[in-house]
Amino acid sequence: MTAAPSRQDRPLIVAGYGMAAHRLLTALGDRGDTRPVVVFGEEPHPAYDRVHLSGYLEEGDPEQGARRLRLPEIDAPNVTLRLGERVTAVDRTARTVTTSTGDTLGYETLVLATGSAPFVPPLPGHDLPGCFVYRTLDDLDAIRAHAQANPGTGVVIGGGLLGLEAAGALRGLGLDTHVVELAPWLMPRQLDAGGGEALRQHVENLGVTVHAGTATGEIRPGPDGAAAALALADGTTVDTRTVVFSAGIRPRDELARQAGLPVAERGGVLVDTHCRTEDPYVYAIGECAAVEGTVYGLVAPGNAMADVVAARLTGDGTRGPFGGADADTSTRLKLLDVEVAGFGDPQPDGDVLDVTYADPVTGVYKRLILSDDARTLLGGVLVGDGEAYPALRACLGGPLPDAPDKLLFPGGADPGAGLPDEARVCSCNNVTKAGIVAAIDAGTTAMPELKACTRAGATCGSCVPLMKKILDERLTATGRTVSHALCEHFPHSRRELYDIVAVRGITTFSQVIAEHGSGRGCDICKPAVASILAGLRGGHVLDGEAATLQDTNDHFLANLQKNGTYSVVPRVPGGEITPERLIVIGEVARDFGLYTKITGGQRIDMFGARVDQLPAIWRRLVDAGFESGHAYGKALRTVKSCVGSTWCRYGVQDSAGLAVALELRYRGLRSPHKIKAAVSGCARECAEANSKDFGVIATENGWNLLVGGNGGFRPRHAATLAADLTTEELIRYVDRFLMYYIRTADRLQRTATWIEDLDGGLDHLRDVIIGDSLGICADLDAAMERHIGDYTDEWAATLADPDKLRRFVSFVNAPGTPDPSIAFEVEREQIKPVLIGPDLEVVRK
């Protein structure tokens, strides 16, 4: 026998690439570990955010859906991912694994992270076509395809947390949804009877039929051999072609069984609090592990196990064994539009104090369970109003910050105030209040950075409101409140100024600053107020006092370049242009000696024009039918398009036609920052709508509307606001989206960060512009109508007004003289600027 191979030549092998394995790799990377690691994942996808699996179906497009579930990519040279390859056997003596490709590989250490499999009760008919489980991306693809081909009714078997999520998904797929639960009420593991009843009311109000306290008898096939009906033990029959099992999970401990490792009584690889099996070279983490006999079906304990193992493998003594708060099984239901939260033990034995608040009218039910001395919070249930959840959960096992009745009544005390330092704010990632405060004190002032550096809030997200509260409190307490003041001249944010100008009917900058500001303004507040006035009052940017407020780009209706010349960008709606117009651009550029370049926005930019040449250039362009492209303004830039169904083999709608219509509709619209858009003719997305402030993607049934995408410094993918819209609906929602953005965003805030900062984010946005939750849609619509009615081409208007034209000279005292400092040389057959002036290092700010 050869000696056990040394650590150097054998990798750490991870069997299973799910959430726990992903966390393990991250935790090893964080600790600077560079040992070779080989990860085998049975699914063909890299680890994804299973917790948000249901979000996958909210996107019409699978790629887009998968993108929503993406976890940070593991990009370390020492880690090899082998996806679509299952570990089939473990040989503990040779210390090797065998995989589904027949390969055998030695390990230094083996970590089992195989997760769990849905439990399917062996009812008659459980394996008919039309029966599904709800666990992986592939499951969801299959459910979606089947539900689309078989509209009508869908049934979920199991009324627990996952069952209700699955029910929400079926409802989202347009099925008339039923849920069958064996226990007398929904979510029996998390809720007590009162909470379960309140939840039933909410769920039924959403149009989901609940059958509680009854077992499923059998699933009956139809003439085609696929599922057609479900018979319940209480005698009811439901006709359905889609059945989803969500009746619990079973740890995938088959590798341990095969390798002769002990498993727990009810399944799960038996490990100690260090996540070690009996074999010192084999660990188990996540849902497949039974820590001292207990299996945890949630992500937070799995993450804690991954951290324990990473710390052990790297000799990091700061992370102790699994225990205490790691075993937190608090949960909060997402998706079904109902707030449900259970934390701690909802039905403890022994002497406890029980404080309940129930309002049958609104369906709010809240219950706190305290130790009999009322000092320690043991558990609780919140249905219909989960606001207090993050803070209460953080107090679990410790004292309450206030009297329990105060915490439960609406409008009572705020449980977020006075949290103890050791309160666990983020249980998914095990971050305490002290950890968050430390990050804030180290200089973090914004939520995105706070999430990035503490990792809190990055998993289920339920702790985000509490994090935000702690951030605000701490910043205020340390006198670092991030000021929203626009600049030294105005104590207001752009949004506040917008409201002031709107409500008071102010029409000039002089009046705003005299009545609401101080000093004479600056390069920050002047353009900001100019943009607000343009949005509210319309008119030309160079009218009267407005002209003095503009940045040089808006002042000359062109873009300043590094040598003091300007560039000219005519609008080319949707990127569609006739040969005649192309020729005009070519001729103008040639005749004025301009450098030309195709821009990233599907149009043509001409560079190197002196201010005194701009009117003559634009005279030619306007005569040929061109308009300003507003490349210089914080305004709508372009609506990019692909050729769409007119030419493309795959196009399902006329994307170019819609792009042209949208660009013409919103041209000239001034906004807090530039606005970019795109329309793609099918899900292949050649117009890159996903990276735009608003993007439109054609579907068989209409259009999907995406918002909040961004290229630039911090790229962001857009999120779907609404799907399968008619053209009319689409335009209505875009109108409102843009107007609401213009009214409420901060100065120079693109839509991506604006949506991030909106209280309630995308959901709030949807409520406002689709559900009219603020009752302002009529206003927004009218504002857009006004904009469209008032639109005139800025350049045509300028050419027609000698007063406006007067400023287009290089020198007031020598109007015919060109600026002698401007010079060019030739490169690649075109001009390029030469900077003259004394040598001095150019400083960009």
Partner 1 sequence: MRTDAILPADPRVSRVTGRVHTGSIATGDWLDVCHHAELEPERGACALVRGQQVALFRTHDGTVHALSNYDPFSGAYVLSRGIVGTRGDTPTVASPMYKQVFDLRTGRCLDDPEVTVPAYPVRVRDGRVEVALP
Q: How far apart are CA 9 and CA 581, in angstroms?
A: 66
Structure tokens at 358: 């129930």
Q: Per-residue x/- marks for ligand FES, 587-626, CB under 6 A? A: ----------------------------------------
Applying the rule CB under 6 A, the residues between 432 and 471 that interact with ligand FAD are 460
Q: How far apart are CA 459 and CA 52, in angstroms?
A: 9
Helix 447-454 with 433-441: angle, nearest 10 deg: 120
CA dist 761 to 280, 452, 546, 732, Å?
A: 47, 19, 34, 20
Q: Does 723 bind ligand FES (CB under 6 A)?
A: no
Determine the residue with CB nearest ligand SRM.
712
Give the single-character DSSP code of 483: P
CA dist 536 to 539, 571, 779, 785, Å?
A: 9, 24, 12, 12
Least distance between ligand SRM and beta carbon 380 (Å): 43
Least distance between ligand SRM and beta carbon 679 (Å): 13
Which option in ligand SRM, ligand FES, ligand FAD, none does residue 255 bind, with CB closer than 5 to 8 A by kind? ligand FAD
CB 513 within 8 A of CB 521: yes
Q: Does 821 bind partner 1 (CB under 8 A)?
A: yes
Q: Does 748 bind partner 1 (CB under 8 A)?
A: no
Q: Does 426 bind ligand FES (CB under 6 A)?
A: yes
Distance of CA 385 to the CA centre of its chain: 23
CB 155 within 8 A of CB 177: yes
CB 81 within 8 A of CB 41: yes
Which option in partner 1, ligand SRM, ligand FES, none does residue 460 bind, with CB closer than 5 to 8 A by kind? ligand FES
Q: How far apart are CA 583 and CA 578, in angstroms?
A: 9
Q: Give the DSSP H/E element, type plus range, for residue 290.
A: strand 289-291
Name 467's Cβ contacts closer than 8 Å, sequence gap at least 6.
425, 426, 436, 447, 450, 451, 456, 457
Which option in ligand SRM, ligand FES, partner 1, none does residue 579 bind, with CB closer than 5 to 8 A by kind? none
CB 153 within 8 A of CB 176: yes
Q: Does 676 bind ligand SRM (CB under 6 A)?
A: yes
* Nearest Cα to Cα of residue 740 among 770, 696, 709: 770
> Which segment (137-145, 424-432, 500-508, 534-542) binds ligand FES by CB under 6 A?
424-432
Which option in ligand FES, ligand FAD, partner 1, none does residue 590 bind, with CB closer than 5 to 8 A by kind? partner 1
The beta strands (E) that lie in 684-764 are given as: 694-699, 702-707, 719-725
* Nearest Cα to Cα of residue 111 among 226, 237, 281: 281
> Which segment (87-95, 117-125, 630-638, 770-778) binds ligand SRM by CB under 6 A?
630-638
Rank residues 179 and 437 by Cβ distance to ligand FES and give the closer one. 437
Residues in the chain: 845
Q: How far apart are CA 558 and CA 542, in angstroms?
A: 13
CB 380 within 8 A of CB 347: no
Structure tokens at 681: 């003719």
Q: Does 196 bind ligand SRM (CB under 6 A)?
A: no
Q: What are phi and psi of 798, to 5 degrees?
A: -65, -45
Residue from the set 459, 653, 704, 710 that interacts with ligand FES by CB under 6 A: 459
Least distance between partner 1 and beta carbon 818 (Å): 7
For the chain, the C-alpha Rg in angstroms (whole number) is 31
Rank residues 308 and 456 by Cβ distance to ligand FES and give the closer one. 456
Residue from the set 448, 593, 600, 760 that interacts with ligand SRM by CB under 6 A: 600
Tell me the three state secondary structure of residue 496: helix
> Which segment (41-49, 268-276, 742-750, 797-805) binds ligand FAD by CB under 6 A?
41-49
Least distance between partner 1 and beta carbon 519 (Å): 4
Rank residues 423 and 689 by Cβ distance to ligand SRM and give the closer one. 689
Rank residues 50 and 640 by Cβ distance to ligand FAD and give the closer one. 50
Q: How far apart are CA 536 and CA 783, in angstroms?
A: 8
Least distance between partner 1 and beta carbon 720 (Å): 37
Q: How far apart are CA 842 and CA 845, in angstroms?
A: 10
Q: Is 237 exposed, middle or buried (0-12, 13-18, 19+ CB in 10 A)?
A: exposed
Residue from the set 165, 197, 253, 663 that interacts with ligand FAD by CB under 6 A: 165
Q: Does 663 bind ligand SRM (CB under 6 A)?
A: no
Q: How far apart are CA 615 and CA 545, in angstroms?
A: 21
Q: Does 455 bind partner 1 (CB under 8 A)?
A: no
* Nearest Cα to Cα of residue 271 among 262, 303, 326, 323: 262
Q: Does 567 bind ligand SRM (CB under 6 A)?
A: yes
Helix 655-666 with 727-744: angle, nearest 10 deg: 40
Residue from the set 376, 559, 645, 653 that interacts with ligand SRM by CB under 6 A: 559
Least distance between ligand FAD and beta carbon 789 (Å): 49
Q: Does 809 bind ligand SRM (CB under 6 A)?
A: no
Give the single-character DSSP code of 46: P
Rank residues 373 and 829 by Cβ distance to partner 1 and give the closer one. 829
CB 563 within 8 A of CB 822: yes
Rank residues 429 and 690 by Cβ distance to ligand FES and give the closer one. 429
Rank residues 219 and 456 by Cβ distance to ligand FES and give the closer one. 456
Q: Does 142 bind partner 1 (CB under 8 A)?
A: no
Residue from the set 107, 134, 283, 808 that interacts with ligand FAD by CB under 6 A: 134
Rank residues 239 and 545 by Cβ distance to partner 1 and give the closer one. 545
> Which segment (169-177, 455-463, 491-499, 730-738) binds ligand FES by CB under 6 A?
455-463
Residue linked to tokens 């399968």: 724
Rank residues 46 and 711 by Cβ distance to ligand SRM and give the closer one. 711
Our separate counts of H helices and E strands in the chain read 27, 39
Which option in ligand FAD, ligand FES, ligand SRM, none does residue 712 bind, with CB closer than 5 to 8 A by kind? ligand SRM
Q: Does 42 bind ligand FAD (CB under 6 A)?
A: yes
Residue from the set 136, 216, 376, 462 that interacts with ligand FES by CB under 6 A: 462
Rank residues 19 and 611 by Cβ distance to ligand FAD and give the closer one. 19
Q: Does 333 bind ligand FES (CB under 6 A)?
A: no
Structure tokens at 705: 């509307």
Q: How far apart are CA 655 and CA 797, in angstroms?
A: 31
| Chain residues that interact with ligand SRM, rule: CB under 6 A | 559, 561, 567, 569, 597, 599-601, 603, 605, 631, 637-638, 674, 676, 710-713, 750
| Chain residues that interact with ligand FAD, rule: CB under 6 A | 15-21, 40-43, 50-51, 53-54, 86-87, 113-115, 134-135, 162, 165, 252, 255, 286-287, 297-300, 302, 331, 460
| Chain residues that interact with partner 1, rule: CB under 8 A | 488-489, 519-523, 525-527, 545, 547-552, 555-556, 560, 562-564, 590-594, 608, 807, 810-814, 817-826, 831, 834-838, 840, 842-845
| Chain residues that interact with ligand FES, rule: CB under 6 A | 426-429, 456-463
